[in-house]
Structure 1
Amino acid sequence: MFWRFSCPIGGIAGECSQASPKKFSARNTLHIDQELAPQDLLPAIQRFWALSAKKISSLNQDYDATLGSPVFTVKGRYTTRGWTEWTQGFQFGSEILQFDASGDESFLEMGKKHTVEKMAAHVTHFGVHDHGFNNVSTYGNLLRLMNEGRITEDPWERNFYEMALKASGVVQARRWTNLPGGGYIYTFNGPHSLFADTIRSLRSLAVAHQLGHSMMTESDVEISLLDRLIQHAKTTAEYAVYYGDGRDAYDLWGRTAHESIFNVNDGKYRCPNSQQGFSPFTTWTRGLAWVMVGAAEQLEFLSIVDEAELVPHGGRLAVEGCLLKMAKASCDFYIENSAADGIPYWDTGAPNLHRLGSNYLDRPADPLNDWEPVDSSAAAIGAQGLIRLGRYLQDSDAADSKRYTQAGLTVLRTLLDEPYLSTNEDHQGLALHSIYHRPNDWDHIPSGQRIPSGESSMWGDYHAREVVLLVDRLANDQPYLKFYI
Structure 2
Amino acid sequence: MHSDCSLKTSDLAASLDRFWKVSAQKIELINREYDVSQGSPVFTVDGKYTTRGWTEWTQGFQYGSEILQFDATGDSTFLKLGKQNTVEKMAPHITHFGVHDHGFNNVSTYGNLLRLMNEGRIPENEWERNFYVMALQASSAVQAKRWTDLPSGGYIYSFNGPHSLFADTIRSLRVLAIGHQLGHAIMGENDKKTSLLERLVQHAKTTADYAVYYGEGRDLYDVWGRTAHESIFNLNDGNYRCPNSQQGFSPFTTWTRGLAWIMVGAAEQLEFLQTVEDGELEPLGGRDAIEGVLLKMATATCDFYLANTATDGIPYWDTGALNIHKLGDDVYERESDPFNNAEPVDSSAAAIGSQGLLRLGHYLNEPKYMQAGLTVMQTLLSDKYLSLDESHQGLLLHSVYHRPNGWDHIPKGQSVPCGESSMWGDYHVREAALYVQRLANDQPYYKFYL
Q: How does 1:421-440 map to 2 (within 5 A)?
A: 421-440=386-405
* Superimposed CA distance per residue, residues 125-160 of structure 1 (whole angstroms, 9 cap, x where no aligned partner): 000000000000000000000000000000000000
Deviation, structure 1 residue 357:
1.4
How far 1:450 moved relative to its partner? 1.1
Uncovered stretches (5+) of structure 1, i.e. residues with no partner: 1-29, 395-400
Corresponding residue of 1:153 = 124
Given residue 36 of structure 1, which amino acid in structure 2 is its aligned partner? L
What is the number of residues matched between the two proteins?
A: 450
Residue in 2 aligned with 1:16? none
Question: What letter matches 2:41 in structure 1?
Answer: P
Pick from 411, 422, 430 the counterpart of residue 465 of structure 1: 430
User: What's the offset of the Cα at 1:358?
Assistant: 1.4
Aligned residue in 2 for 1:43: 14
* Aligned residue number for residue 369 of structure 2: 404
1:184 matched to 2:155: yes
Distance apart, 1:356 and its partner CA = 1.1
Distance 1:161 1:469 in 2: 22
- SS of alignment partner, residue 117 of structure 1: helix
Q: What amino acid maps onto 2:33 in structure 1?
A: D
Match of residue 202 from structure 1: 173
Q: Write the letter of the residue equivalent to 2:426.
A: D
| Aligned ranges 1:363-442 → 2 under 5 Å | 363-394=334-365, 401-442=366-407
Question: Residue 19 of structure 1 aligns with which residue?
Answer: none
| Cα distance in structure 2, aligned partners of 1:303 and 1:257 | 28
Q: Is residue 234 of structure 1 aligned with residue 199 of structure 2? A: no
Q: Aligned ranges for residues 87-98 of structure 1 at < 5 Å?
A: 87-98=58-69
Counterpart of 2:417? 452
- SS of corresponding position for 1:270: strand
* 1:224 aligned to which of 174, 195, 220: 195
Matched, 1:477 2:442: yes
Q: Which amino acid aligns with 1:459?
A: W
Secondary structure at the aligned position of 2:338 is classed as: coil
Give the corresponding residue for 1:9: none
Partner of 1:303: 274
CA distance in 1, matches of 2:327, 2:201: 41
In 1, the alpha carbon distance for the partners of 2:60 and 2:161 equals: 23
Of residues 80, 85, 105, the one that matches 2:56 is 85
Shift of 1:326: 0.1
> Who is 1:21 aligned against?
none
- Aligned residues: CA RMSD: 0.5
Equivalent position of 2:97 in the other structure: 126
**Aligned pair partner of 2:250 in 279, 296, 300:** 279
- Which of 155, 162, 171 is the aligned partner of 2:133? 162
Give how far 1:256 is off.
0.2
Cα offsets for 1:405-459 (capped at 9, x unmatched)? 0000000000000210001110000000000000000000001111100000000
Counterpart Cα distance in 1 of 2:152 and 2:316: 37
Name the CA distance, whole Å, in 1 between partners of 2:299 and 2:2.
18
Match of 2:225 in 1: 254
Question: How much does 1:83 deviate?
Answer: 1.3
Separation in 1, partners of 2:360, 2:283:
25
1:317 and 2:288 correspond = yes
| Structure 1 residue 82, shift from structure 2 partner | 3.3
Q: CA deviation at 1:313?
A: 1.9
Q: In structure 2, what residue type is equivalent to 1:441? A: G
In 1: Cα distance, 2:379 partner to 2:53 partner: 31
Which amino acid in 1 is paired with 2:185? S
Q: CA deviation at 1:66?
A: 1.1
1:445 is aligned with what amino acid?
I
Amino acid of the residue matched to residue 432 of structure 1? Answer: L
1:181 positional shift: 2.7
Q: Residue 474 of structure 1 aligns to which amino acid in structure 2?
A: L
Post-superposition offset of 1:314: 1.7
CA distance in structure 2 between the aligned counterparts of 1:449 and 1:156, rounded to whole angstroms? 53
Pairwise CA distance, 1:204: 0.5
Tell me what 1:18 maps to. none
Q: Percent identity among equivalent residues?
A: 72
For residue 92 of structure 1, report the CA deviation from its aligned partner. Answer: 0.1
| Secondary structure class of the residue paired with 1:425 | coil
Distance 1:61 1:54 in 2: 10
Q: Structure 2 length normalisation: TM-score?
A: 1.00
Q: Which amino acid aligns with 2:28?
A: S
- In the aligned structure 2, how far is the partner of 1:299 from the partner of 1:293? 10
Q: Secondary structure at the match of 2:201?
A: helix
2:322 counterpart of 1:351: yes
| Residue 303 of structure 1, CA deviation | 1.2
TM-score, with structure 1 as normaliser: 0.92
Corresponding residue SS for 1:308: helix
Cα distance in 1 for partners of 2:158, 2:152 equals: 20
1:307-363 per-position Cα deviation (integer Å, ceiling 9, x unaligned)? 001101221100000000000000000000000000000000011111111111101
Instruction: Give runs of aligned pairs for residues 260-275 of structure 1, distance below 5 A.
Output: 260-275=231-246
